[in-house]
A = this chain, B = another copy of it.
Amino acid sequence: MKDKIKIGLIGLGTVGSGVYKTLRSFDNIEIVKIAVRDKNKKRDIENLDESIITDNPYEVVNDPEIQIVAELIGGINPAFDLIKTAVKNGKHIVTANKELLAKHGEELFNVAEANNKVVLYEAAIAGGIPLIMPVKTILAGNKITKIKAILNGTTNYILTKMDMQGSSYDEVLKEAQELGYAESDPTSDVEGFDAAYKITTLATIAFHKRIKFENVYREGITKIRPEDMKAANEMGYKIKLIASAELNENGQADVRVHPMLIRKTQTLAHIDYVTNAVTLSGHPVGDVTLSGPGAGEFPTASSVVGDILAIVSEIGNTDYLLPMMRCRHEENAKSIEISDTENKYYLSMTARNSIGVIGRIGKACEDNNISLASIVQKEVEKDNSARITVITEICKEKDMQNVVNIFKNDPAIISVNSLIRVQL
């Protein structure tokens, strides 16, 4: 067996914990050191190996054994110096630090390049959504010229709630703070800084041109009124905090974060609560929209771990050809026969408008362990027949097929028109 790849974590907060828990199941990876601010803090992690915990992050970046450092503390200081030191010490970096990337990305990547190391940061933008890696790899043949995105969960939660409840910004902010969806000082989210950090880096990658954070226009959501929400709705729009970037034909970039009326026919209008979404437009691909959880312990860990595995797949193999690209099929899947599955059903029938049909339908279902969620009978005037629509609760396909056969043989049922499964 090859040696395990040695990882050091800086930070064991929400994201760090998710990363630690997720990485433990990989037997080709070993977490050898974790830097925390407070060694005595009680943590919700089973079997945490206390012996690898330090409160000096330089012990991580200076440890000669460590090959990859995951920086998960955020902010400029001391994160920036820690990362630079780690890179100079020959370590690859995975980070979720959107502010550092937006403000000092250029220096950061120059140091990495000079030391032949990579800095990956899928988790810094749109949490668990696969975004940076796809832009750099499978979409690499495209010229991307437009990005429209919802990149901040807190503000999207507030706007969604304002829209649904008709409440004011202040009311909903208070609610969001009580639920932990907004910080006690919400400035970074509600004034659009967080989204501006993210669109700065995303546009830099997508356009292959460095966007300066100070050139990003920024407006927050604090002035949006319930009256605006209502007026927008009446005109067929939703109000969202949109991070947008456009590259025009002269190579000029127009990068901004501000509230925007989005037509209800657009996907972004339906991205609600803390979900994030990004629509990328380019040639040849056209428009693709990627959506999912933009923050949180586990979604963010998914991206950090994905970046770590990408580096591991390269440095862990002398046989280096696209190790992650290979088709792994450890075994054939055992499969389930459709007759053994459980589903909900929509059933449409036409019946003679005679006494007792509904009763027999109910009885047949009951005899076959099928509960009905709803049954609607509508008269069809011209021929005295009735249209019966049934929605079942979850039941066995086998039982449902039995019942359908019973109905097909019931002289009062003229036809079984449709049997369609319903999403659970």
> Chain A interface (Cβ within 8 Å of chain B)?
18, 21-23, 26, 105-106, 109, 112-113, 116, 118-120, 122, 128-130, 132-134, 136-142, 203-205, 207-212, 215, 217, 223-225, 227-228, 231-232, 235, 237, 239, 242, 247-248, 250-256, 258-263, 266-267, 270, 282-293, 296-299, 301-303, 305-311, 314-315, 319-322, 324-336, 338, 341, 346, 348, 374, 387, 389, 391, 417-418, 420-423
Contact = CB atoms under 8 A, between A and B. Distances in A.
A128 B421 contact: no
A138 B134 contact: yes
A333 B251 contact: yes
Given A120-B325, A133-B137, A286 B231 contact: no
Contacts of A259: 420-421
A391 B255 contact: no
A329 B242 CA distance: 24
Contacts of A232: 346, 420
A312 to B, nearest CB: 10
A299 B285 contact: yes
Contacts of A122: 138
Given A118-B322, A286-B299, A291-B267, A130 B130 contact: yes
The binding surface of chain A is classed by DSSP as mixed
B298 A287 contact: no
21 contacts: A26-B141, A109-B329, A130-B138, A137-B310, A138-B302, A138-B306, A203-B333, A204-B327, A209-B330, A231-B346, A252-B335, A253-B335, A261-B422, A261-B423, A267-B267, A284-B298, A285-B292, A285-B299, A289-B291, A311-B322, A315-B321
A284 B251 CA distance: 39
B284 A299 contact: yes
Given A134-B133, A232-B346, A314-B322, A335 B139 contact: no
A263 B282 CA distance: 31
Contacts of A116: 319, 321
Contacts of A418: 223-225, 227-228
Nearest to A339: B217
A72 to B, nearest CB: 14
Given A235-B374, A286-B293, 4 more contacts: A106-B329, A113-B327, A140-B305, A287-B293
A140 B312 CA distance: 12
B288 A129 contact: yes
Contacts of A324: 136-137, 140
Q: Which are the 4 A-B pairs with shortest beta-carbon distances? A: A141-B305, A288-B292, A284-B298, A138-B306
Contacts of A321: 116, 118, 314-315
A307 B105 contact: no
A78 to B, nearest CB: 22
A344 to B, nearest CB: 8
Contact of A303 (B138, B302, B336, B422): B138
